[in-house]
Each structure stands twice: as structure tokens, then as C-alpha cells.
Amino acid sequence: MRLQVSFKSGKPVYLQVVDQVKTAVACGTLRAGDPLPGIRPLAESLRVNRNTIAKAYGELESQGVIQTAAGKGCVVRDGGSPYRKDVRLDLLKHDIDAAVVQAHHLQIGRADFLRLAEARFDAFAQQRHEAGPTS
Amino acid sequence: MTQSTPVIEIDQLGRRFGRHDAVNGLSLRVPAGRCYGFFGRNGAGKTTTIKCLLNLLRPTSGRVRVFGLDPRRDEVAVKSRLAYVPDQVAFYPWMTVRETLNYMASFRARWNQQTEKALLERFRLDVRQKTSHLSKGQRTQLALAGAICGEPELLVLDEPTSGLDPIVRREFIQTVIGAYQDADPGNRTVFVSTHLISEFEGLIDEFTIIDAGREVLTLESDAARGRFEKPLEEIFVSTLAPAGATA
């Protein structure tokens, strides 16, 4: 996995790292038990502050995406989120709300929105399929 | 030092040269473990401010504290805990690289031999070479190695990479991120003045832009990118240059 950060976008750098790792895990590029790069080498290669990487890994750990394994650094967690389903739904609600607001401004109606959501799920499944069989 | 004492505290600092105010009512604070950018155009008062922190200049007015101490009254206590890399590095020309490092180490309570070895290898410095024969890039590398091996709590960098080639600049920044902050990152503070902002972009947690000796803008980097939606260098240019002057 190659991480990249851009200072041109207004997105905080640590969130860029969080989202890239989450995408890699969701797509199957990173599997359960796979190690993440160490904080120092990653910070050096991206030329970003170590605090930024530490913050990103802390965020990923609290979201249950990775865990710290003794002597191995950070690895991708097996199994799912540590949260109960109602909490997980609640977390997702905020992202969907943002997309619904954006849809409103772009004059995309409910039917088109739902159709697009279906299509994106299909594209995601396809991407996972191409990455190979997952557990 | 308690966690809450800022590493650097500047209150209403003023420094006058003749009738010219080089620094005029500047205030800022740098908490421990931060990498703080100090940005300004040439002549904005960056080096004067840094010299006041190091007791190389006396403030005309205002107050500076380093580790909560007065750099003038507690000069030794302050200087033993920090290292300074200026833009123009000077060494004794008759000394070799080895002798220079030994000389620097003799002023330090601690000296990390492993870091020294690693940095000499990384920079491919020949310890038998006389410092007068070093290139500008090698001098800066030697100064940085000398600063880092003493494991200071505060690293003060004044335009450290100006005039260096891109590879040396890149290595310099990676060394600050890697070797310097490796041990005890929570207590490794960096204060860097530069106008090569894009070069240091990823390193900077928080920054102050000064102009004509006064603070113009202080922000956390992430907040700044979120607010202005552009890189720090663009923020710097648009803050200081009149509208329309930016391409």
C-alpha cells in the first residue's frame, strides 16, 4: 500500500491517512493482520510530522480498523468494528446526511440518489472481487 | 518543566535598531512537542526574534521565556537544553569533522554516539576532512548532526535550508522528523523560521506569520488548510501580498 498526502486540499493530513487506510482495508488491499508502516519511516517518507501519523493511527485504532500488536506495531484488525450496530448506523448517518445535503444542492432526487448508491455498492463489490477472495 | 509551561513564550517583544523597529510587539507561545513554523519575508524580524530567544540580542521591550526561564539571566540553563542551526554556519576551519563534533559534544551533557554514526553515514561525511573544505550543504549537515546528537529539547532552525540543493533539503527535513524526534517525541520541540514554506509544509503543526515585526496570523496548519483551502505557502503569499499580486 502506498500512502500519499496532498497539502493542496483543505483536508487535514491525518484524515487523509485515515481515509486511505480505511479504503485499503475495505477494498481488501490490506487484510487482517497486515502490518502498517511504522510511524517514523512513514513520517520520513511522506515528510510529515510524526504527530500527524500518530494522530492518524490513534484515530484508526479508536475506530477499530487497526490494533497495536506487541512487538509488531500497528496491524489491521480482524473482525469488524467494536461498536454495536446502532452506534455504527449512527456513525454512518452523518456521512449520508452530508451526501443528502449535497444531492439537494445538485438537484439530485431521491430515486436518482438511491440508484447511484446501488451502483456504487456494485462498483465496490467489483473492486473487492478483483482484489481477490476475502475472508 | 511541567507539561503546561510553553517551551517558548514571547510577550510584546520589541527590538529597535536606531530608529527602526525590527520587532514591534510580537507575542507567541510554543508548547512542548510541537513543530512551530515562523514565517515572514526577508527583513520581517525573524532572525532578530530568534536572537532575542538565544540572548544574542537584548530585547528593547517585552519579555521572552524559554523553558519558562529568562534566556538572559539563566543563559547556561537555557542553552544547555536547546540547539541552534543558523543559515550561515561557521566552524573553526582548522578542525576536521571529527574534531568539530568532539568539540560540540564537549559542551553537552549528553551525546548520542549511535545517532552521530547514523547521521555521518546518511550524509556521507568524511570525519577526516577539514571543515574549511566542506561544501555549503555539508556544513549544514554537520551543523544539524551536531545539533541533534546532543538530544536537545528544543531545536531552533533559522532559514536552515536556504541555498541548499533539493536533495540535501529533503534529507535535512527527514532527519529532523526521523533522528531528532525519534526519542521522546513529546519533548522534542522544533522552532523553524523559513520562507521555503512548501518544503516544511508537512512538518509544521502550527505557525505564525510576521510582517514588519508584528504578528499577522497564527494558526494550526490543519485549521489553516481547512479555512483557506490552499497550501501554507499560498496562505503566506495571500496574507502578505496585496490582492492581485498573487499569480
ipTM value, please give it.
Answer: 0.76
User: Pick from A10, A47, A50: which is nearest to B181 by CB?
Assistant: A50
CB spacing of B178 vs A49 below 8 angstroms: no
pLDDT at position A46 over 80:
yes
Is CATH 1.10.10.10 correct for A13-76? yes
Distance CA B10, CA B71 (A): 12
Question: What would the DSSP string read from start to end of A16-62?
Answer: HHHHHHHHHHHHTSS-TTPBPPPHHHHHHHHT--HHHHHHHHHHHHH
| Torsions phi, psi for B173 (to 5 deg) | -70, -40
pLDDT at A33: 87
- In chain B (247 residues long), the average pLDDT of successive 10-residue segments reads 80 94 94 93 93 95 96 94 91 96 95 94 94 93 93 93 86 86 83 89 92 93 86 88 59
For A10-35, the pLDDT digits (tens) are: 888 999 999 999 888 887 788 888 89
Report d(CA B32, CA A30) in Å as an integer. 35
Residue A118 has pLDDT above 70, yes or no: yes
Helix%, strand%, coil% for chain B, nearest 5: 35, 25, 35
Backbone angles phi, psi at B28, to 5 degrees: -165, 160
Which residue spans of chain B are classified as CATH 3.40.50.300? 1-81+195-241, 88-152+161-187
**All structural domains of chain A with their residue ranges:** 13-76, 85-130
CA distance A121 to chain B (A): 30
Residue-wise pLDDT for B178-217, tens only, equals: 888 877 777 899 999 988 888 888 889 999 999 999 999 9
For an interface test with A, give the residue of B222, B229, B232 to mutate (most A CBs within 10 A). Answer: B222
Mutate to test the interface with A, among B36, B119, B174 (most CBs of A within 10 A): B174
CA atoms within 13 A on the CB side of B18: 1
Of A8, A12, A47, the CB nearest to B177: A47
What pLDDT score was predicted for residue B244?
55
Distance between B201 CA and the closest CA of chain A, angstroms: 8
CATH superfamily of B1-81+195-241: P-loop containing nucleotide triphosphate hydrolases (3.40.50.300)
Tell me which CATH homologous superfamily contains domain B88-152+161-187.
Answer: P-loop containing nucleotide triphosphate hydrolases (3.40.50.300)
- Listed by number, the residues of chain A in 93-112 with a beta carbon closer than 8 Å to a beta carbon of chain B are none
The phi, psi pair for A10, rounded to 5°, reads -80, 5
Please report how the helices B136-149 and B113-122 are oriented relative to each other, as an axis angle in degrees rounded to 10: 160
DSSP state of B3: T
Does residue A38 sit at the B interface (CB-CB below 8 Å)? no
pLDDT, residue A81, reads 65
